[in-house]
Structure 1
Amino acid sequence: MKETTRKILNRLFERFSKLNNCEREINNSVEMIVDCYKNNGKLLICGNGGSASDSLHIVGELMKSFILPRKLKNEYTEKIKEMFPENAEYFIKNLQGTLPAISLVSETALTTAYSNDNSADLCFAQQVLGYGNNNDIFIAISTSGNSKNVIYASQIAKIKNMKVISLTGRNGGKLKEFSDININVEEQETFIIQEYHLPIYHALCLAVENEMFGDDN
């Protein structure tokens, strides 16, 4: 891990001392996600309610520049110049390197159709079955750790040989049983747990971006 990445994570723990109990899990999550991206994997993310919003938020930080410039890979810029010279300057100036991530809550037509025709609590699991590959990571967000649709999706992720990182609260609930890494905030009230989840995933996104696009120093 880069020294600059360690500084990002240390700043998180300095600002939110409550999260010191999660330090090992957060550090390990960064390493797992970086390894996923280096092996051409992607993240699948879901949750309910406020956690659904969090899943969309995470995608927004990963699929475009968060705080660092993200130059396109040389192989892309060369192909752009060769194949579309009339648009090359515009593409290269504006397009950014990505960290692939999909929120499973955003497919409104799919989730409503599946929920209407089959079982609503399997709508995330169905998407994991379709999108998931063995180099991917499933990020499961549930403040209680007991959301059935998130748990079912985690179980399908395991049969797809995916890694599972969960963000939970209270005692981690049943979800922790199906997680390779469980980042658990030891609070009881939902809104407080969510208030801690946000700086956690911001730090994860910052750290991963720094590992993938930042300077080596």
Structure 2
Amino acid sequence: MDALETLLFRYPVLAPCRDSLAAAIAALIACYEADGTVFTCGNGGSAADADHIVGELLKGFTHPRPLPPADKQRLRELDPEDGSLLADRLQCGLRAFSLMSQIGITTAVGNDLGDALAPAQQLYGLGRPGDVLIALSTSGNARNVALAVQIAHLRKMTVIGLTGAGGGRLARLADIAIRAPAQQTYQIQELHLPIYHALCIAVENHFFPPAP
């Protein structure tokens, strides 16, 4: 059973989200096949989710992702001692970046330009065509998230919005809107976690198939 079907089996309440989930998986795979980057943003618990997503993408999530043999050999040639440690322990990563955890630029933008502009400013400097922004907002109306989404569109990125049943502005702005079927903030967040876990698993399995 693939990641999407497993998610829907475990959380049947998410069945109405099937098409948007499938579209999100396809968008993430296309991004990485084009050597792109996935960016994330959100506030409060959703900011923690934004960081969490990056953690699942940058190293092995459900299974190890050993380095390619050529990289292992080169590391050992560079330094016989530390090279072996790096070659044996590091794992392949999928390029991902949280716009919420860069304290220097976040506080600089907040002080000089306005707090709501921090994710947008980072994305203006870092985003490229073909990249993906995963934007999380339980209400769908977070101002800083909406501003980041507009910059993502300027940069010709694909926006995946994770929000609640109401959708809010994010559902209208996103290319792909995944509306968790709940109204209360904590209930929406409880559904966002298995949703983004499934997205990460699907992408990981595509690029790093698990051993039979």
Cα offset, 1:79, TM superposition: 2.5
* TM-score scaled by length of structure 1: 0.93
Match of 2:139 in 1: 144
Measured in 2, the distance between the counterparts of 1:110 and 1:7 equals: 39
Query: Residue in 2 aligned with 1:163?
Result: 158
Identity of aligned residues (%): 44
Aligned to 1:36: 31
Counterpart pick for 1:91 among 81, 86, 92: 86
Offset, 1:84? 2.9
What letter matches 1:168 in structure 2? T
Indicate the SS of the match to 1:65: coil
The correspondence for 1:209, drawn from 195, 204, 208, is: 204
Please report the RMSD computed on the Cα atoms of aligned residues, expressed in angstroms. Answer: 1.5
Count of aligned pairs: 212
Aligned positions of 1:72-91 closer than 5 A: 72-91=67-86
What residue number does 1:126 align with? Answer: 121
Distance in 2, matches of 1:123 and 1:170, equals 27
Unmatched segments (≥5 aa) in structure 1: 1-5
Q: Which of 189, 194, 198 in structure 2 is aligned with 1:194?
A: 189
Q: Which has the higher contact order (CA 8 A, sep 6+)?
A: 1
Q: Distance in 1 between matches of 2:2 and 2:171?
A: 28
Contact 1:68 1:210 in 2 (8 A): no
Report SS of the residue matched to 2:60.
coil
Q: Give the Cα–Cα distance (whole angstroms) in 2 for the partners of residues 107 and 153 of structure 1.
A: 15
Runs of 4+ in 1 over 6 A off after TM superposition: none
Residue aligned with 2:2, SS:
helix
1:32-82 CA distances to partner (integer Å, 9 max, x unpaired)? 111111111111101000100100111111111111110113442233233
Counterpart Cα distance in 2 of 1:162 and 1:7: 27
Corresponding residue number in structure 2 for 1:3 = none
Which ranges in structure 2 are unaligned for 5 or more consecutive residues? none
CA-CA distance at 1:83 after TM superposition: 2.8
Q: TM-score, normalised on structure 2?
A: 0.95
